[in-house]
Amino acid sequence: MPPDTTSYVSDIFAPAQETTRGHWGRPSLSNLIAGFRREYLAEASECTVGWRLPSYMSWFEKGDFLENVDTLGRGGPQNAAQRLVSGAVKSLLPASFVEWRYYAILTPEFHGILGLSFFNPKAQLDSIAEGGLIAIFAGNVQGGKEAFCWQHLFPLTSLRFGGEKCETLEGHHQGVTLKVHQYAVNAARVELCGNLAPELTFEHVGLPDAALFPFVVEDLKRVPGAHWIVHCPSPVAEAKGHFRMSTDVLASLGARSAVSYPNFASDGLKMAASAGQGIEASFHGSGYYEHSFGMNPLPLHGWDFMFAPDFEKGTGLVMQTYLRSDDMHFIEVLWTENGVRKYTRFGKGDFKLDWVRSAWHPDIRAKVPMERHIVGSRGGYTLEIFNHIDDQLPFLRQRKLIVRHFFISEETGRTSWVLRNAAGKEVASSRPGGVLSGGEVAYPRIFTPGHS
Q: Is residue 374 part of a domain?
A: yes
Check: CB of residue 388 under 8 Å from CB of residue 144. Answer: no
φ, ψ for residue 240, nearest 5 deg: -145, 145
Among the listed residues 447, 370, 373, the one whose alpha carbon sits nearest the alpha carbon of residue 409: 370
Q: Is residue 28 part of a domain?
A: yes
CA pair distance 124, 178, nearest whole angstrom: 24
Check: CB of residue 5 under 8 Å from CB of residue 50. Answer: no
Tally of structural domains, the chain = 1
Give this prediction's pTM: 0.90
Q: What's the 3-state SS for 146-163? A: EEEEEEEEECHHHEEEEC
Q: Is residue 379 part of a domain?
A: yes
Q: Hey, is 398 helix, strand or coil?
A: coil
Among the listed residues 138, 145, 360, the one whose alpha carbon sits nearest the alpha carbon of residue 245: 138
Provide the pLDDT for residue 17. 35
φ, ψ for residue 142, nearest 5 deg: 55, 50
The radius of gyration computed from the CA coordinates of the chain, to the nearest angstrom, equals 22
Q: Which residues of 415-443 are buried (b: 16+ CB within 10 A; e: fewer)?
A: bbbebbeeeeeebbbbeeebbbbbbbbbb
φ, ψ for residue 350, nearest 5 deg: -100, -10
Provide the pLDDT for residue 394. 87
Q: Is residue 3 part of a domain?
A: no
Q: Is residue 452 part of a domain?
A: no
CA pair distance 283, 226, nearest whole angstrom: 39
Q: Is residue 162 part of a domain?
A: yes
CB-based contacts of 43-47 (< 8 A; 24+ apart in sequence): 44/229, 44/293, 44/294, 45/8, 45/9, 45/214, 45/216, 45/229, 46/214, 47/185, 47/214, 47/229, 47/231, 47/233, 47/291
Check: CB of residue 227 under 8 Å from CB of residue 37. Answer: no
Question: DSSP string of 291-347?
Answer: EEEEE--GGG--EEEEE--BTTTTBEEEEEEETT-SSSEEEEEEEEETTEEEEEEE-
Helix (H) or strand (E) holding 388: strand 381-395
| Sign of the alpha-carbon torsion through 285, 149, 47, 302 | positive
Check: CB of residue 301 under 8 Å from CB of residue 321. Answer: no
Q: Is residue 366 part of a domain?
A: yes
Q: Is residue 146 part of a domain?
A: yes
Domain region containing 223: 10-444
The per-residue pLDDT string of the chain (452 residues; one tens digit each, 9 = 90 and over) reads 323 333 333 334 443 333 333 222 333 445 678 889 989 999 998 888 999 999 999 999 998 899 887 766 677 888 887 888 888 788 888 888 999 999 999 999 999 999 999 988 887 766 556 789 999 999 999 999 999 999 999 999 999 999 999 999 999 999 999 999 999 999 999 999 998 899 999 999 999 999 999 999 988 867 889 999 999 999 999 999 999 999 999 999 998 866 667 899 999 999 999 999 999 999 999 999 999 999 988 777 889 999 999 999 999 999 999 988 889 999 999 999 888 999 999 999 999 999 999 998 887 778 899 999 999 999 999 999 999 999 999 877 665 555 555 778 999 999 999 999 999 999 999 999 999 999 999 887 665 444 33
φ, ψ for residue 123, nearest 5 deg: 55, 45
Q: Is 269 exposed, middle or buried (0-12, 13-18, 19+ CB in 10 A)?
A: buried
